[in-house]
Amino acid sequence: MAAAAVAFAASRRSWRRLFRWRAPGSRAPCGLICPTRGLSGGNEYDLLVIGGGSGGLACAKEAAEFGKKVAIMDFVVPSPRGTSWGLGGTCVNVGCIPKKLMHHAALLGGALMDAHHYGWDVAPSAPHNWNQMAKAIQNHIKSLNWGYRVQLQERNVKYFNIQGSFVNDHTVRGFTKAGKETLVTADHIVLATGGRPRYPDDVVGAMEYGITSDDLFWLKASPGKTLVVGASYVSLECAGFLTGLGLSTTVMMRSIPLRGFDQQMALLVADYMESHGTKFLKHCTMKKLEKLENNRLRVTWNNHEAGTEESSVFDTVLWAIGRVPETRRLNLDKVGVKLHPNSQKVLVNASEATSVAHIYAIGDVAEGRLELTPTAIMAGKLLARRLFGQSTELMDYDNVATTVFTPLEYGCVGLSEEEAERRYGKDDIEVYHAYYKPLEFTVAERDSTQCYIKMVCLRERDQRILGLHFIGPHAGEVIQGFALGIKCGATYPQMKKTVGIHPTSAEEVTKLWITKRSALPATVTGC
């Protein structure tokens, strides 16, 4: 012990001489805060993660399990409207969690309408209190923020609430909100900085008067009559729950809904929304956004189908036109981390490595990755295991299931019909499908026109399932289990042998037998 202490002191002295070592955090004569360099003269941390969202937290916590010295930086730049939040990233604060809870609030409104059919003496159109809902959800989020801080502390992960940018390839400089500077050095650095909503740069008043999903979930008062611009996940989900909460909601769509998804399914999702109160402005693009004296917003747009210019007044305009990766503030060109020239996302290989050997990127900020929380989390954990454990396991981005939480949910895993045709040819795939009626819809006299299931299989050999698509209640819960089967290479004959659970909507998947090729009517009835 004593010998070790002497050796330690000696090495500290010699490294001090060599590197003019100062205690981390002390001020050097130049006025800079000293880097947190290790006593060995090497880097202070084995791993520094920049970004405390889904991927970054998972990676940091996993690395700490291996006894490594880990630090994480997380800093939220307030939205142009001044909205800010705590530790946990997009999903927890301004994504999956508040979105799913507001979606649930809207579904409860639907349940109220069903309830009187089932004998409950409740008014089907009870008023909704936005402030009360928002407060409850925001309190839950704050408890999650706190939980993450505790988890980091328990694992001895050093948390810096600072915005990081590279000084050199092992050193990251960060600033606290108050402008205090800290330098952190690490052997390995993981970029997990995610992205932020995009604003258009060709619409007058867009940033000044519009909001994004970064603001919506933290509004204290109802957004009122809302125009949602865009037609993908964020747009349709937000428009769906706003409509469900009783607000007049319009989607402005320049092209197709849910690009990248099976288009037959996407159109059914949009059809359901349209027939349940969401208005759609199709083939329209916004031109101008002005604030009126009464604080409402006048929106002017081009209708490309009609060839006209049109306008209307809204209380809120929500931009949901995609996201910009958080790479601009990292000073990446200084260290040679290469970005995709168009997306500005970080180029990575299969092991999440960037163009700089010890710098990695995971989650939304990495080029070509699915922008989903579970993929960011798994990629982060596997990366930590490869870096510090004995693992060589790579993240498998194939057959990742996802769900769009629109009023009628859409869950899917694997290939769309279009993509299966593109890869295998129309003649080599078989599509089994069915329109079905969830049992709960019957007594409530609900419209089930868009409840639809489609399974895309190889036509020959083992008839492997290439893709499964489900529109209906609880689609996320339904598709999750089937995703395991499909990941394991499930085939159509195996699905046919699977005994369903009665009475559920999920059992309809196991009963699919009508092929599209047969042109038989695809409506299933009764038990």
| Residues catalogued as catalytic | 502
One of 259, 291, 426, 496 touching ligand NDP (CB under 6 A): 259
One of 138, 278, 399, 402 touching ligand NDP (CB under 6 A): 402
Which DSSP letter does residue 298 get?
E
Concatenating the DSSP letter of every residue in 179-190 gives --EEEEEEEEEE
Q: Does 242 interact with ligand NDP (rule: CB under 6 A)?
A: no
The span from the CA of 175 to the CA of 181, in Å, is 5
One of 61, 69, 99, 446 touching ligand FAD (CB under 6 A): 99
Q: Does 372 interact with ligand NDP (rule: CB under 6 A)?
A: yes
* Residue 427 C-alpha from the chain's centroid: 35
322 interface partner picked from ligand FAD, ligand NDP, none, CB below 5 to 8 A per type? ligand NDP
Residue whose CB is nearest to ligand FAD in the complex, by number: 53
505 Cβ contact list (under 8 Å, min separation 6): 436, 438, 439, 451, 470, 472, 473, 474, 478
**Per-residue b or e along 278-296, where b marks 16 or more CB atoms closer than 10 Å to that residue's CB:** bebbbebbbeebeeeeeee
Q: Does 359 interact with ligand FAD (rule: CB under 6 A)?
A: no
Strands of the 452-458 sheet, one edge to the other: 402-404, 410-414, 465-471, 452-458, 429-435
CB half-sphere exposure, 495, CA atoms < 13 A: 30
Whether residue 428 contacts residue 460, with contact meaning beta carbons closer than 8 Å, is answered with yes
Least distance in angstroms from the C-beta of 157 to ligand NDP: 26
Q: Which of residues 276-295 bind ligand FAD (CB under 6 A)?
A: none
255 interface partner picked from ligand FAD, ligand NDP, none, CB below 5 to 8 A per type? ligand NDP
Whether residue 30 contacts residue 22, with contact meaning beta carbons closer than 8 Å, is answered with no
359 interface partner picked from ligand FAD, ligand NDP, none, CB below 5 to 8 A per type? none
Nearest CB to ligand NDP, comparing residues 237 and 326: 237
One of 231, 376, 431, 466 touching ligand NDP (CB under 6 A): 231
321 interface partner picked from ligand NDP, ligand FAD, none, CB below 5 to 8 A per type? ligand NDP
306 Cβ contact list (under 8 Å, min separation 6): none
The span from the CA of 311 to the CA of 227, in Å, is 12
The span from the CA of 13 to the CA of 154, in Å, is 32
Least distance in angstroms from the C-beta of 385 to ligand FAD: 17
Least distance in angstroms from the C-beta of 238 to ligand NDP: 9
Q: Does 233 interact with ligand NDP (rule: CB under 6 A)?
A: yes
One of 35, 38, 109, 164 touching ligand FAD (CB under 6 A): 164
The span from the CA of 31 to the CA of 28, in Å, is 5
Q: Does 361 interact with ligand FAD (rule: CB under 6 A)?
A: no
Least distance in angstroms from the C-beta of 349 to ligand NDP: 21
77 Cβ contact list (under 8 Å, min separation 6): 163, 196, 329
Instruction: List residues binding ligand FAD (CB under 6 A).
Output: 50-56, 73-76, 89-91, 95-96, 99, 163-164, 192-194, 213, 234, 326, 329-330, 363-365, 371-374, 376
Instruction: List residues binding ligand NDP (CB under 6 A).
Output: 200, 229-235, 237, 254-256, 259, 285, 320-323, 370-372, 402-405
